[in-house]
Structure 1
Amino acid sequence: MQYRFKAASFALFIAGPVLAQAATAPELSDNIELDPVTVTATRTDAVLSDSLAPVTVITRTEIERLQPQDVTDLFAGLPGISIANNGGPGKSTSIFMRGTESDHLLVLIDGIKVGSATSGGFAIQDLPLEQIERIEIVRGPRSSLYGSEAIGGVIQIFTRRGGGRDGHPVASFAVGGGSHDSLRGEFGIRGDVGRGGWYAASLSGRDTDGINTRPSVGEPDKDGYENIAGSLRAGWRFDNGTDLSATYLRADSENEFDGSYQDFSDNRQQAFGADLRFSPLTVWKVSLHAGQSRDEADNYKADTYLSSFETRRSYYAWQNDLQVAATQLLSLGLDYQDDEVDGTTEYAVDSRDNTGGYLQYQGDFGRHELQASLRHDDNEQFGNNETGSVAWGFHLLPALRLNASYGTAFKAPTFNELYFPGYGNAGLSPEKSKSVELGLGGMIASIDWRLDAYRTELDDLIAYDSASESPGNVDKAVIHGAELQLSTLLAGVRSRAYLSWMDPENRADGASHGNTLPRRAERTARLDLDYDLGRASLGATVNATGKRYDDLANSTELGGYTTLALRLGWQLLPCWRVQASANNVFDKDYETAATYAQEGATYYLGLRYTPDL
């Protein structure tokens, strides 16, 4: 592996303090953060506490407080999420949302649909935390608003946004290192332009020698990982309220791993797009969006080039929000998606498009809230697909609400499943689902809580059919689950607890009937504790995961595990903060995918400059 920036690139980040503006240290407050606005669950602005869908929002403040090493670390133990990772930092990672398949999860970056048209997934392991401003995780089917992929849920990542101080640009800076010769750094600058413009630019890098990803295969080398990423967002708000913005994100990575066919990959993830929002009338808001994502990979074995894959996803959307009454909103939208595949592998079909239209109603009637949506998709390969959902909320008490919902979803087969030479099956049909959910939540004293129970039926699941030696619509599954979330601030200690229970049962005919779907943990729990002591802060995260199976036959069991992470922050100078963390403190050996090791005990020490805005 070519460690390109290990010796030199970090010199770039030394410029951070020079460009940084002097400022007063940010005040550490015991107040709970204001309820953030979420846009993903309904494609319209809504306060999180008003959402009928179960949503988890992770802010930039929380990311810096928790000190995760990557997105996988950040997501571990969150409600409804199971993670399977192939050997530590930067290695292939799958996210199973509420027991559905890893490609049943739709990922958006600033509203841009991202992911590989060939494999069906997004390389979440390559997404740099340093570029993220906020994450919204919506659990449950959302095909009636977003179309294919959103069977298990939607994750939307928002990159860093602009804004200066008193008309002057401000800079941020972070650098650090730790176990396995890890180095990482970040530099960002943001500011205002004129009376309505803003911009934000950020550059980050990460390098680690890694671990031996598969100790049992007889290759005792360490498998390193390198990532260099940058993002740029800019926008202008006109005097009449019109908003125009553009975004660009790029992440280049080099990844070593143990494999008999290939052992090195050079990857690039890109997303770029633009949004225009305006109001022709007071009761009418229009949103226009255009974007494209690209997924590129070059694959090698022992420095010998083997293959290249490139997929492009272009996405265009037009949404109209009509305020039909004081507490009633009607949304009508059209979108168009075009997927293209290129590279060294010949596919019988290398492109397809999808045109979709949707209608959503949201109403508030005192103690009752209602949401309903209906969508029609015309897919170039699979014809017409209709999906819908309905959700109802009822305030039993001012601080206690009951939610109920029903939704359907579908997932179009990937190009690999359809056309990969010697493997694909061009006769596949889309996968479909039906989900029902019941939730209860509110405030008890100072405890914010929510309990959700759900049942999902999956039909025509795509899996390998041994009879035809290719993928087929051979599987059925029924998934029952429940999720509990608790958060409070008591005596200065910020506490958040998550508990998830799930029974992902395989209902396919044959020997695997009644077995647990592979790589899903049936039980997970997480507890975050953070305490501010003026200039210092202390924190801990406990993650507990139950057993899982690695195969459909349930013959390979992966044992449960519990890990402890500790973190410390110290306000060294105004706006300057030293951060230290230790992960997997008790050096627990565990696997989330059979034969693939996970990191043992690790430590990290860093310095961060964050201006007070």
Structure 2
Amino acid sequence: MKKSIRLRARAFVPALSALSLASLTALAQSQYSSDPEVVVTTNRREVTADQVFQSVSVITRQQIEESGAQSIMDLLAGLPGVQTARSGGAGKATSVYMRGTTTNQLLVLVNGVRVSAAGTGEFDWNSFLPEQIEKIEVVRGPLASLYGSDAVGGVIQIFTRTPQSGVSIAQTIGSYGTRQTDVSIGGGGEWVYGLRMGTKSIDGMQTILTKPNRFGSRQKYIDGTLNRKFDRDTRLQFGLSYGEGNNEDEYGLNFSRNYSGFARVDHATTDSWHQTLQLSSFGVNLTVPKGYPPGEFSTDRTALSWQNLFTMSSGVLTLGADTWVDKVVKLDYWNAANNVQKELVTNAIFGQYATKWQDVDWQLGGRSDHHNVYGNQSTFNAAAGKKINSKLQVMSSYGTAFKAPTANDLYWPHSAEPNTDDFGNSLSSSAGTCGPTVMTSWGSRTPCVYDTVGNASLKPEKSKTAEIGMRYVDGYALSLNYFETKISDLISWKSTEQGVGDAYGSYYQPVNVNQVTIRGLETGVRQRIADWFVAAQYTRLLAINQETGLQLDRRPKSSAALTLSKEIKSHKVSAMLQLASERLDSSGQNTLAGYGVLNVSDLYKIDANWSLLARVDNVLDKKYTLATSFGTPYATPGRSGYLTLRYSYK
């Protein structure tokens, strides 16, 4: 108990010190306003940000254009409770960690559509570019009682651009041979349409710090929307996004395709009953022709959601049902016996009730999911909030969540591959080149074979999260949230050494073993001072693997961001400083040094139709590392610049 108290104290002290120095929230709004943003992700219905019990960040279209961000990673970096990592330069594999949870314990939606691959459980953060995005809502904390699996650390929802009447063209050039073109057109009468398409290419930058090779990427995309409001009671909407590209690494080119689409009907059945019916589809395909082994990975998901909103004098009741089918395919070009084709089915019902009683806002919700492999999972949330006065609001919540095992965890095909030397020659026990008595240069035993297989008896990971928080608005906005999360039955691929002779090897299989305890404090302030807008945040995070006693990989214990912006005639100048303390990597075997990175941008409004955006990343050319490959650091971009010329005609 004393140890737990000490851990809590260590989490609070630096954060409270940072508050006294005006720690702030990451992406500054172009103008500070006391009017809260409207969000839909937290409750699956429209509410203002001051009506929710969760910690929420909203990144608007105006902020995206003013920042000149080149990726979603650039947009999310520096937000409270969010850490990012990338395996190399721009366009390479990216991970996002929310409140210490792993990247596949974060639910990602695009226009209300689940967009994680069923094989890995992860979203491809490079599949959407900032030019395609209208708004991003970031909700911290468990929302499984509304969305089901994956929403352990939180939910990020991306909304693609809304149709705008007229024509828009944007052209970007920049470092590492970056070139991007985006064209959109919109209009209509009763039927409102929007069409956007674009391409982006990067000639390449260094990926592995110890190797000079440079690898690039190419992608193209097209988004379309169509909607009509038939009368005051009925609206019909359609949306479709498609993207494809290639990404080069030391093995050659990897090819990817992705799509997401929906058809949605909103109907006000009565003055107090509103229905939404949505049919959606998502697919992702990754082809690795020269990987090890070469192959193909695909997910195709079809989903149907029916949601009912009842507005009563006593409160608001939400009732709904979700169902989706994942068709998962893994093809091994070397050995067809390793191919996998599975169909995973999820059916769920959910409900949430919000009311006001004894001058306190209350919320209670629950959900039941049934899966054709791992069975039934039930989750719930309970929250309460009170406005002490017109300036101060306090809230608390408790919620459970779960993360379903991925198709790779369940069904990765049984494969045994011989260990080889640096020249590709198989090692042999009889020759004395492998076995339990043959030690590697770093002191471990040398396996003769690597044996890997999935585990169809895995259970879902489960979590419990408690949180307290406050918001204060009085000429400036201050927020503070403290949370504790415990995750059990964490799925981990474990290696055991067994066998004799040439069968001696490392046998890998996922099992439910680990437990994680996470404690954190997020603080934020934003304020306008004369002509300056100031925003920043400080996050203190302790995310401990109970099996090893170590902080989880790539999660800094302390992180912060400071943003300053100022309008100077036709210019909007902004600067952001991101800070992170040292982090562990490679299951705690390596330590990554802390870093500070400064990015600046200038948006120049030439006239009503033309604008020019200049952005410089890593102004001080800081050398830092976000991730390693078995201890070998991945490269990060040095000082780099980008110019975007934009024309809009309405």
Would the TM-score normalized by the shorter structure come out above 0.5?
yes
Match of 1:87 in 2: 88
Match of 1:557 in 2: 591
Question: What stretches of structure 1 move > 6 A for 4+ residues in a row?
Answer: none
Match of 2:173 in 1: 177
Amino acid at match of 1:312: D
In 2, Cα distance between equivalents of 1:458 and 1:372:
22
Match of 2:5 in 1: none
Aligned: 1:376 with 2:363: no
The alignment-based identity, stated in percent, is 32
Of 541, 560, 569, 2:576 maps to 541
> 1:247, 1:273 within 8 Å by CA — same for their partners in 2?
yes
RMSD: 1.8
Match of 2:646 in 1: 608
> 1:90, 1:126 within 8 Å by CA — same for their partners in 2?
no
Match of 2:153 in 1: 152
Amino acid at match of 1:334: A
Q: Which range is displaced more, 110-119 or 336-345? A: 336-345
Match of 2:135 in 1: 134
> 1:77, 1:545 within 8 Å by CA — same for their partners in 2?
no
The 3-state SS of whatever aligns with 1:433 is strand
In 1, Cα distance between equivalents of 2:529 and 2:487:
42
Aligned: 1:238 with 2:267: no
> 1:161, 1:199 within 8 Å by CA — same for their partners in 2?
no
The 3-state SS of whatever aligns with 1:312 is strand
Aligned: 1:464 with 2:499: no
Of 331, 334, 354, 1:344 maps to 331
Q: Which range is displaced more, 536-545 or 416-425? A: 416-425
In 2, Cα distance between equivalents of 1:380 and 1:176:
47
In 2, Cα distance between equivalents of 1:566 and 1:29:
15
The 3-state SS of whatever aligns with 1:416 is helix
Q: Which range is displaced more, 478-487 or 203-212? A: 203-212
Over 3 Å counting, the alpha-carbon distance change for 1:504 and 1:33 in structure 2 is same
Provide TM-score, normalisation by structure 1. 0.89
Match of 2:436 in 1: none
In 1, Cα distance between equivalents of 2:186 and 2:535:
31
Q: Which range is displaced more, 335-344 or 100-109? A: 335-344
Of 420, 423, 432, 2:412 maps to 420
Match of 2:528 in 1: 489
In 2, Cα distance between equivalents of 1:29 and 1:551:
39
Report deviation, 1:352: 1.1
Over 3 Å counting, the alpha-carbon distance change for 1:86 and 1:301 in structure 2 is same
Report deviation, 1:270: 0.8
Q: What aligned pairs does 1:161-310 form with structure 2 within 5 A after superposition?
A: 161-164=162-165, 170-194=166-190, 197-216=191-210, 218=211, 220-258=212-250, 262-301=251-290, 306-310=294-298
Of 474, 495, 518, 2:513 maps to 474
In 2, Cα distance between equivalents of 1:151 and 1:540:
32
In 2, Cα distance between equivalents of 1:209 and 1:309:
26
In 2, Cα distance between equivalents of 1:607 and 1:592:
31
Report deviation, 1:32: 3.2
The Cα offsets for residues 15-62 of structure 1, whole Å up to 9 and x where unpaired, read as xxxxxxxxxxxxx99563853210000101101122111111111001
Report deviation, 1:492: 2.0
Over 3 Å counting, the alpha-carbon distance change for 1:417 and 1:347 in structure 2 is farther
In 2, Cα distance between equivalents of 1:484 and 1:192:
45
The 3-state SS of whatever aligns with 2:75 is helix
Match of 2:558 in 1: 523
Amino acid at match of 2:161: R
Match of 1:324 in 2: 312
Report deviation, 1:424: 1.1
Amino acid at match of 2:480: L
The 3-state SS of whatever aligns with 2:126 is helix
> 1:298, 1:305 within 8 Å by CA — same for their partners in 2?
no
In 1, Cα distance between equivalents of 2:63 and 2:57:
12
**What is the aligned length?**
565
In 2, Cα distance between equivalents of 1:93 and 1:127:
12
In 2, Cα distance between equivalents of 1:545 and 1:74:
16
Amino acid at match of 1:188: S
Over 3 Å counting, the alpha-carbon distance change for 1:526 and 1:29 in structure 2 is closer
Report deviation, 1:536: 1.4
In 2, Cα distance between equivalents of 1:434 and 1:378:
20
Over 3 Å counting, the alpha-carbon distance change for 1:31 and 1:545 in structure 2 is closer
Of 541, 548, 551, 1:502 maps to 541
> 2:330, 2:339 within 8 Å by CA — same for their partners in 1?
no
Amino acid at match of 1:271: S
In 2, Cα distance between equivalents of 1:239 and 1:499:
47
The Cα offsets for residues 409-431 of structure 1, whole Å up to 9 and x where unpaired, read as 01110011111123311221110
In 2, Cα distance between equivalents of 1:37 and 1:347:
46
In 2, Cα distance between equivalents of 1:55 and 1:274:
27
Report deviation, 1:469: 2.3
Provide TM-score, normalisation by structure 2. 0.84
The Cα offsets for residues 163-218 of structure 1, whole Å up to 9 and x where unpaired, read as 43xxxxx1111102011111112111122323xx21211112211112110032x4
Match of 2:320 in 1: 333
Match of 2:483 in 1: 454
The 3-state SS of whatever aligns with 2:294 is strand
Q: Give the number of the structure whose alpha-carbon radius of gyration is greater.
A: 2
The 3-state SS of whatever aligns with 2:356 is strand
The Cα offsets for residues 499-518 of structure 1, whole Å up to 9 and x where unpaired, read as 1110000112xxx2x11111
The Cα offsets for residues 241-281 of structure 1, whole Å up to 9 and x where unpaired, read as 211101111121210123xxx34211112101111110111
In 2, Cα distance between equivalents of 1:102 and 1:256:
23
Q: What aligned pairs does 1:437-448 form with structure 2 within 5 A after superposition?
A: 437-444=467-474, 446-448=475-477
Give the unaligned 5+ runs of structure 1.
1-27, 165-169
Report deviation, 1:343: 4.0
Give the unaligned 5+ runs of structure 2.
1-28, 333-337, 414-451, 497-506
Report deviation, 1:96: 1.0
Match of 1:7 in 2: none
In 2, Cα distance between equivalents of 1:348 and 1:250:
25
The 3-state SS of whatever aligns with 2:176 is coil
In 2, Cα distance between equivalents of 1:163 and 1:78:
29
Match of 1:25 in 2: none
In 2, Cα distance between equivalents of 1:498 and 1:150:
23
In 2, Cα distance between equivalents of 1:294 and 1:33:
40
> 2:67, 2:615 within 8 Å by CA — same for their partners in 1?
no
Of 589, 611, 618, 1:577 maps to 611
The Cα offsets for residues 513-535 of structure 1, whole Å up to 9 and x where unpaired, read as x1111121222111121111231
Match of 1:587 in 2: 621
